[in-house]
Chains A and B, each alone.
Chain A
Amino acid sequence: MLVDLVIRRSVLTLIVVLVARVAFAQAGPTVLPGQFEFAGSWAPIGTEDVQNDSVPVDYLGLALTDEGRTRALSYDESQKSMVERQCQGWGASYAVLGPFGLRISRQSDPTTNRLVSYTIDPWEDWNGMTIWMDGRPRPSEHALHTQAGFTTGRWEGGVLAARTTHMQVGFIRKTGVPLSDQATIDWRFFRHDNVLTVLMVARDPVYLVEPEIISKGFRLSQTPLDFRDPCVPGYEGREPGDPVPHFAADENPFVDEFVKLYNLPREAVLGYRETLYPEYRKKIKDTYVPPPPCTADCGVAGNFVRRRGPTP
């Protein structure tokens, strides 16, 4: 009797173990929730370079239309010293192009506790972003366009997907590369462990030949990010009412500064489409001459050093 009982229990145990083993043996799966914790403080990881040296004419990694290139070349960064423009800030794309981290909070309906939105807090020269998650409709195309634009989002297979429209005319680079009010930015937020990868896909029928795609990493911070005080305008040598600084597009004195600094091909610096693909590397293989050895600001500390020659 006892032997029967032992055998029966053994059979049952083995069945349970085998079923569990087969069920969970699929190539070592890890089941993720359909959503991840998005709220929190995410510190920037500065290991990928988009803005390069912040020289005035740097459109590396962009595919510009002729109109976009012309408008960019007419930009004079002295515009930002005008009192009325000092705190103008930058548009939605600055979330990944700027040097700051992301401080994100979640807003819920107090009655139902359902998610309404996520908010990415503003920093000194960026207006932040609200991602509406409650399924509200997008405004009419004729509705007010703002610097931040209008953003809606949804969860898709473990990824937060969002889209920004209704942006006013702005920039996609601090070097004056424009983004029109017809532009759309799609976002994908991926979280793997404590790294948040933000993918930005900016499309602009006016100024971009191909989408500008940027992916930037952020690391979960154990302490809240603390942004600096808001921008306060001050006198920087330009009087109210002074002309807006600009260049004739074909007379920009900085057009070759970045080219000479690193022996870079001019068409790459000026944002031609072909320069984004591997074929271009082969094309310039026999003409490119590496710059002389680095002698200053060669390491991490040089990341935000502005390498400038004398003003032409």
Chain B
Amino acid sequence: MRRKLLAIVVVMFAAFCVPASVHAQRARDVAPIDLTGYWVSYVTENWRYRMVTPAKGEYRRIPVSPAGVPIINAWDPVADTRAGNQCKSYGAAAIMNVPGRLHITWQDADTLRVDTDAGTQTRLFRFTARTSSSAAKPTWQGESAARWEQVPAPEKGGSLRVVTSNMRPGYLRKNGVPYSERATVSEHVDVTSLPDGGGELLLVTTVVEDPVYLNAPYITSPHFKREPDGSKWEPTPCSSTW
């Protein structure tokens, strides 16, 4: 009897030591909202800053710190292209405001993948921590940790929270308003129905914080309409000037 109980304890202890993700329900299976599919930007706000390249030196509506102003005034898109930095305005802190389409899929059961046709960028929202032993090299899209925020039963619904860091320095706007490699992006992604069968809307409340080039959080909430399929998907490369 003792041996049996001891064996049970040992087995259960071993089970306890197995990573939680093995036991956990996968993020895909417990998603309170369906983000997958194609979504198109509906540009009703900040039109002049998103649909066309604003004038050099203009940074209205962005709480730029004094350290950012010389960089804004030194913006040189030709030099960016020459240096291979034409994706600076397509980084994680800016990409949701770039007019275009999103294609959202599950890369695996715990990783939500967001592809953009504008700039052909890919964001990976990971619901489980990466196990890399060394610090990853910064990228345009950085590393994004995700989690669901669910409303309790019997209600249905919820939101996706994503926090992104480890980004290469980039631009909040096409005309060179900078964010640094110390910036972080906190996003909440919500889906809501448009009235009277008008489809669905994806809303991304985005908070960019940067201790170097911003003196307050930069908050935007771009929105997207759901599209029935990918027939309008048109990948285009990054551009420094457009």
Contacts and interface: CB of A to CB of B under 8 A. Distances in A.
Interface of A: 3-4, 7-8, 10-11, 14-15, 17-18, 21-22, 25-34, 45-50, 52, 60-62, 156-159, 161, 163, 184, 186, 188, 190, 192, 195, 197, 199, 201, 203, 211-217, 219, 262-264, 268, 275-282, 284-285, 288, 290-295, 297-300, 302-303
B131 to A, nearest CB: 16
A201 B16 CA distance: 49
A28 B147 contact: yes
B98 to A, nearest CB: 9
7 contacts: A26-B148, A190-B190, A215-B221, A219-B219, A281-B242, A300-B63, A300-B64
Given A11-B9, A278-B100, A291-B55, A49 B190 contact: no
Given A26-B25, A27-B147, A264-B52, A61 B57 contact: no
Contacts of A213: 42, 44, 201, 223
Given A262-B48, A300-B59, 13 more contacts: A21-B16, A27-B25, A28-B147, A29-B147, A32-B159, A199-B201, A213-B223, A215-B45, A215-B222, A276-B43, A278-B43, A288-B52, A298-B59
Interface residues of B, number: 84
A14 B218 contact: no
A213 B41 CA distance: 11
Closest 7 CB pairs of A and B: A157-B157, A25-B24, A294-B58, A294-B57, A27-B27, A61-B44, A215-B221
Nearest to A300: B63
Nearest to A156: B157
Nearest to A184: B195
Contacts of B155: 34, 157-158
Contacts of B44: 50, 61-62, 212-214, 276
Contacts of B194: 186, 201, 211
A47 B62 contact: yes
B52 A32 contact: no
Given A33-B152, A34-B151, A295-B57, A18 B12 contact: yes
Given A48-B61, A184-B195, A197 B205 contact: yes
Residue from the set B58, B148, B194 with the largest chain A CB neighbour count within 10 Å: B58
B168 interface: no
B93 to A, nearest CB: 13
B15 A217 contact: no
A49 B61 contact: yes
B130 interface: no
A28 B127 contact: yes
Contact of B60 (A8, A276, A298): A298
Contacts of A34: 151-152, 155
Interface of B: 1-2, 5-6, 8-9, 12-13, 15-16, 20-21, 23-27, 30, 40-49, 51-64, 69, 99-101, 110, 118, 127-128, 147-152, 155-159, 161, 175, 188, 190, 192, 194-196, 198, 201, 203, 205, 207, 218-223, 232, 234, 236, 242
Nearest to B12: A14
A284 to B, nearest CB: 7
A27 B21 CA distance: 8
Contact of A26 (B30, B101, B207): B30
A263 B58 CA distance: 15
Contacts of B207: 195
A300 B127 CA distance: 36
A192 B188 contact: yes
Contacts of A48: 45-46, 61, 219-221
A263 to B, nearest CB: 8
A211 B151 CA distance: 28
Given A11-B5, A190-B188, A17 B16 contact: yes
B12 to A, nearest CB: 4
Contacts of B128: 27
Residue from the set B5, B48, B58, B64 with the largest chain A CB neighbour count within 10 Å: B48
A138 to B, nearest CB: 14
A214 B205 contact: no
B30 A27 contact: yes
Contacts of A157: 151, 155-158
A278 B101 contact: yes
A278 B119 CA distance: 13
